[in-house]
Amino acid sequence: MLFEEFGIDKRLLTQLAHQGIKHPTDVQQQAIPIAISGQDLFVQSKTGSGKTLAFLVPLLQRLIKQRALSKRDPRALIITPTRELANQVFSQLRLLIAGSNISATKVLGGDNFNDQIKSLKKDPHIIVGTPGRLADHLKQKSFFLSGLELLIIDEADRIMDLGFKDEIDLINQQADHRLRQTLLFSATLEHSQIDAISRNLLKSPKKVTLSESN
């Protein structure tokens, strides 16, 4: 199958093609149509299977479709467990939004807090961050989640392993459940807290689970 069969915007297809990406992986084939339809989604598939594009493509399709992108609260928040993973997601995101009017910023633990406040004041459409630092900024009201349309939790199992349950709960509480769609990604299913976090965050989610053999 080809990415163009998802009916996504030409500009997005062009940016993917620039990176040599034409054919979606298994998890992308299954997850992208559900995510584009606006439903909540739980995805489990192994590391390296292509989960990043499984959320970036639906996210960017949604923002591109909104012709008048007003500058206010972030539209989308992508939470990853570590700086390294956030940097990987952000690099891929940057390539995909190159030349568009979509803005994004990183909010990572270890970086300068005041610089982050300045970046957040510019009202980026997309924030990629790590849980602890995001929670610190929310407590200080550096930004608000009242307009959030899409909450993406990447590597939820590792986020729980690292003990970020309280930070995820805070973010969950501050983002309006009626407005938002939530996509949750995990490499494993076995984690003891995955069921609990899914129940807390997701509304009648669709599930895509690919066993190790896939």
From CA 147, how far away is CA 150, in angstroms rounded? 9
What's the min distance (Å) between Cβ of 27 and ligand ADP?
Answer: 7
CB neighbour list of residue 22: distance below 8 Å, 6 or more residues apart: 2, 3, 16
Q: If binding means CB under 5 A, how many residues of this protein chain bind Mg ion?
A: 1
Using CB positions, name the residue nearest to ligand ADP: 52
Q: If binding means CB under 6 A, how many residues of this protein chain bind ligand ADP?
A: 12
Task: Give bridge partners of residue 148 from the DSSP assignment.
Answer: none
In the shown chain, the binding pattern of residues 31 to 60 toward ligand ADP, with x for contact by CB under 6 A and - for none, equals ----------------xxxxxxx-------
Tokens at residue 199, please?
């129940």
From CA 45, how far away is CA 48, in angstroms rounded? 9
Q: Which is nearer to ligand ADP, 73 or 155 (CB)?
A: 155
Confirm or reject binding of residue 192 to ligand ADP (CB under 6 A): no
Classify residue 13 by burial, with Cβ atoms within 10 Å: 0-12, 13-18, 19+.
middle
Given candidates 45, 51, 107, 127, which one binds Mg ion under the rule CB under 5 A? 51
Q: Which residues bind ligand ADP (CB under 6 A)?
A: 21, 23-25, 28, 47-53
